[in-house]
Structure 1
Amino acid sequence: MSGIGNAPAGERHLSIDAVRGFAVLGILLMNIVAMGLPSFAYLQPTFAGGSEGADLWTWAVNNVLVDGKMRALFTFLFGASAVLIADRAASARGLSPAQTHYRRMFWLAVFGLLHAVFFWFGDILVTYAVAGLVIFPFRKLSPRAQVTLGAAILLALLAKNLWQAEQLATLRAAASAPGAPAALVAAWQEARGAIAPPPQVAAAELAGFGGGFVDAVHARLELLKMFYTYFLPQDAIPEAIGQMFIGMALFRLGFFTLRWTSRAYAALAAFGYLVCAPVTAWLAWLIWRSGFEPLVLHELEVWQQTTRPFIALAHAAALLLLVRSGATGPLVDRLAAAGRMAFSNYLMTSIITAALFGGWGFGLFGELSRAQLLFVVAGVWAFILLWSRPWLARFRYGPFEWAWRSLVQWRRQALLRAEPGPAGALAE
């Protein structure tokens, strides 16, 4: 999905493909919650899907190791791809780096809007397209400058979110005071709806997604109003820009292409898993101990932003060590094939789950618990890992990668290989 899947012959990085394949699998662990349950269950376990037993443990493990981390990994790779593809365009005939990049962002936004309306309101492609417009002019900055910019943006976002959490707590205290003005009470009720929606919200989604295809589109459009007017401009896009800057720097520094020492990768993995993951687990425990009280959950999940990038990079570092060791060759090959087709696999995941959960398909929306949704995840993972290698043995690109590339170049690209290669061939 990051766009490096458009690489021509001889310019692939197995390590990048494998990390991207890992990320496209991992991100479904979180997305599946809002795909198969009323959307706010993604943030609040007591809203839907269960918050005890196996469901609680599913939330806890995902909260510590997955939530926001796989998205961060995707976004780092997108920043890396902006540099890689621009460098490649500069040394090739045809479109200039700027033409290539901005055409890619335009068509990515088109794909994203169609994806969001018809299949998955939580689409990330539009966010990436907008953030991609911002980062491109900065691609030639030094890695140090890019890291500084990215960190500054993420820290500013953290400060903004902490300030908002404090404002919410202040508003609740004022509205709960004896004799509080009616306007203040109304303001708190409206604000509370954003962090603890009433049951009617879940009922409306159950009716919409449990109906026909058009009903699901209408329900999705209602969610997109909030998503595009609040979450994207205030959180998703700034976070993506900050993480893309860091991803560009990491690519320049050789992190994704195995140019670091094994000791450096191991140190980063150790910091993520032995320092940041326990801190995140402690914050998750505090959330659980509060009974998932909305204000506590909101504020502590904001604090989890501090550890999110490091756990994401720990995942990448651990996988890169496996790639370097060669000990898990068949698995790496499968992940790399999935990564080469990450754009197609990301969209196919939404198409499959929309059919499984929608009333126009198998009608499972709201029927499975949080833990039971893991069986769906396992099935989709099996599909991705099984179809990607054989497809790439016959075709140059994934189907959506091919469509994207053809639109960017504004001419039909060759899809079939001249001579089919062995299953799982990763070079053209």
Structure 2
Amino acid sequence: MTLPTPQARRGPVSSSERALAPDLARGFMLLLIALANTPWFLYGQDTNGVSAHPTDGSVLDRVVQFLLIAAVDARIYPLFAFLFGYGIVQLYRRQIEAGVTDRAARAILRRRHWWMIVFGVVHAALLWFGDIVGAYGLVGLVLVWIFFRRMDRTLIVWSAVLTGLLTLVTVLGLVSLPFMPADMTIDQGGFGDTAAINAEENYGASVLARLAMWPLIALGQGILGLVVPVMILLAFWASRRQILENPGQHLRLLRRTAVIGVSVGLLGGLPNALTHVGVIGIGEHQAWIFTLTQSLTGLFGGLGYVALFTLIAARVQSSPVARSVPVVAIQAVGKRSLSSYLGQSVLFAPLLSAWGIGLGANLNSAGVAAIACLGWVVLAVLAYVLERRGTRGPAEAVLRRLAYR
């Protein structure tokens, strides 16, 4: 028998080794990410300074805005963070089980995360300032370095500490709500100024603007916002127990997490959504407080979505539905989540940005949401074709070649 050398590396996971739940969750997640990004392409419209969503529109537009704020905004990137952290442990475990040394396996992780940062910079420069691939590569480098070898108790304690810190900031904001002077103003540009990056007609100037914005998003959303580190630490813990691979053994935990998480996420998004559509009459000098509740409850909402998608996968995995075209297509998108995520920008940025066709200046919330759904369907069809051919996504193929050398 030939023993693996210390530098031996097994290749990336094969289709037969993949669990349905993570891929199904990633596939759904890509649709929700597309919807979450839509407001940023509606440049030139008035916002209230605390949301990227326009402050006007038809009844249908207002319904779309309400649903996105309550159920999608600040709920999907935590879901993405959890699945990313879960995959880190999966990748490491496969290498160790194949006989790769700890040092060599961790080197693969480091290369992968460094190249994700490079992917993120290129993605931001060329197409989309809100890139999260680089942000997650950055936080992956930091958290793997600090926490990857820590005990389970350490992961839970630090996730609780960071959640507690975020909760404290939110509570202090809510307590201060009645005492805010009415003449305190917010920069009305706020989100509108950020969305205005897509209003730049000169492509070269738009590249510079996106590159200037990307580091702030990578640091703010990736690390300083605290939500992503919390989700990745919890994902480390969950992946060690292979909860998504074996949902039948963890049904009680998954059901409780789904019910509590989704409920807290939806209820926590209501104040922001109701304020946006004018049901809650609160001054703009106070409305920003609900961005804090949005972020905190989005953490629970992201966990709830993970558990819900896992329960759905557990139900369909052993049934004929798992082999149906829609399920296979959604799973195919999940298997190619990086390619699908970048593919959204390839479809939407030239179509909606001012340096391209510029449809974003003339659309409303409902219209751009419809385009997002249609784009996701197009990418699902392409992913399905690649799945039938047994071909990996192009971005995954490049990243894996760079990471595995």
Q: Do the structures match in fold with TM over 0.5?
A: yes
CA distance in 2, matches of 1:164, 1:225: 26
Percent identity over the alignment is 23
Which sits farther off after the overlay, 13-22 or 397-406? 13-22
CA distance in 2, matches of 1:198, 1:247: 33
Which of residues 189, 202, 213 is equivalent to 1:197? 189
Match of 1:99 in 2: 107
Aligned residues between the structures? 385
Match of 2:138 in 1: 130
Q: Is the 8 A contact 2:41 2:198 kept in 1?
A: no
CA offsets per residue over residues 165-216 of structure 1, 9 Å max, x none?
878987x63x94xxxxxxxxxxx66xx22xx3279948954641xx142233
Q: Which amino acid aligns with 2:381?
A: L
Q: Which amino acid aligns with 1:348?
A: G
Q: Cα distance, 1:78 vs. partner? A: 0.9
Match of 2:163 in 1: 154
CA distance in 2, matches of 1:240, 1:68: 11
1:282-293, aligned counterparts within 5 Å? 282=271, 284-286=273-275, 288-291=278-281, 293=283
Q: Is the 8 A contact 1:90 1:96 kept in 2?
A: no
CA distance in 1, matches of 2:194, 2:133: 26
Which of residues 270, 286, 289 is equivalent to 1:299? 289
Q: Which amino acid aligns with 2:242?
A: G
1:268-279, aligned counterparts within 5 Å? 268-274=257-263, 276-279=265-268
1:177-326, aligned counterparts within 5 Å? 192-193=186-187, 196-197=188-189, 201=193, 205=197, 207-208=199-200, 211-224=201-214, 227=217, 234-235=224-225, 238-257=226-245, 258-274=247-263, 276-282=265-271, 284-286=273-275, 288-291=278-281, 293-326=283-316
CA 1:226–1:295 in structure 2 vs 1: closer, same or farther (change >3 Å)?
Answer: farther
Which of residues 106, 126, 137 is equivalent to 1:118? 126
Q: Is the 8 A contact 1:18 1:336 kept in 2?
A: yes
Q: Is the 8 A contact 1:120 1:354 kept in 2?
A: yes
Match of 2:375 in 1: 380
Q: Cα distance, 1:92 vs. partner? A: 2.9
The TM-score, its normalising length taken from structure 1, stands at 0.79
Q: Which amino acid aligns with 1:244?
A: I
CA distance in 2, matches of 1:356, 1:292: 36
> How well do the aligned residues superpose, as a CA RMSD in angstroms?
3.3
The TM-score, its normalising length taken from structure 2, stands at 0.83
Q: Which runs of 5+ in 2 are unaligned?
A: 1-10
Q: Cα distance, 1:112 vs. partner? A: 0.3
